Amino acid sequence: MGRKTMPLDRLPERLRSGMTLGIGGWGSRRKPMALVRELLRSDITDLTVVTFGGPDVGLLCAAGRVRRLIYGFVSLDSIPLDPHFRAAREAGRIETNEYDEGMFVAALRAGANRLSFMPTRAGMASDVLRMNPGLKTIRSPYDDDEYVAVPGIRLDAALIHVNRADEVGNGQYLGPDPYFDDLLAMAADETYMSAERIVPTAELTTGATHHTLLISRLFTTGVVETPNGAHFTGCEPDYPRDEAFQKHYVQAAADEQAWAGFSDTYLSGDEAAYQAAVAAFRDAPTGATTPGGRA
């Protein structure tokens, strides 16, 4: 078994403009934010993004990197909508396919199983069909029931984040929910996985957490160790969502000048610079002026 570890700054070399990119996590939970930030440091654009979205989508939309978005929702959880996504959606700057959550998962399952579509009852008799006129229905050959035939989604690459991984590409979640990162990995030609810690394989399979192995090395192309790599989303039990910083992000998004300051402070340097700026924000007195805007 060969090692699949790689440095974060090599990620853009593995990706390209125009690709279909799946992003794991759920809303503002366990998002591969360090990988997304590294993508933003490149000139990669014209992406089709497939995700249960959160600030990953917002940041990519703010930078003009998204051409098309296939999604079940885009939310910051404690804040209903990501502001950059909302602005891009309302202005018509991105193409969208908004699916019922059940339909979205069916599409991933079809892609993971190399099927052209998956029948599902989700979305029947709803506005989802009106909003996606390309969707077709199909009748069962057994009982004449009607289903939505959701097209399978195949991905050029997937980005996911886990709590622990080993050097050969096995990934483990330790929080309350696996989300659908495994389906994204199986539906993708390549999967790049970041982890809070890279540990010996034996550490993944001992104790009471062996059942939380989520990603098989068979589906992993590269592994990056990124402590605090899901920030500002949560990565339970390692750390919760950074609600103060998320609020800071949303406030900055409301004003062009504030967003320029936020971008200069948090997004203009490398990942070490981002983490240092976040630490400075965290250490600033409540209500004090911090780099990139008001706390």
Residue 219's pLDDT is 97
Inter-axis angle of helices 55-62 and 243-253, to 10 degrees? 30
Task: Let me know how long the chain is.
Answer: 295
Spatial CA neighbour of 74 closest among 95, 104, 92, 52: 52
Please report which residue ranges of the chain form alpha helices under DSSP H: 11-14, 33-40, 55-62, 83-91, 101-112, 127-131, 181-187, 201-204, 243-253, 256-266, 271-283
CA 21 to chain centre: 9
Amino acid at 197: R
CB-based contacts of 83, cutoff 8 Å, min separation 6: 58, 250, 253, 254
Supply the pLDDT for residue 53. Answer: 97
Q: How big is the chain by its Cα radius of gyration, in Å?
A: 19
Domains of the chain (ranges; CATH) run 8-102+154-225 (3.40.1080.10), 243-294 (no CATH)
d(CA 93, CA 284): 36
Supply the pLDDT for residue 287: 46
Provide DSSP, 178-194: -TTHHHHHHHEEEEEEE
Amino acid in position 185: A
State residue 286's pLDDT score: 63
pTM: 0.93
Q: Which residues of the chain have pLDDT under 50?
A: 287-295
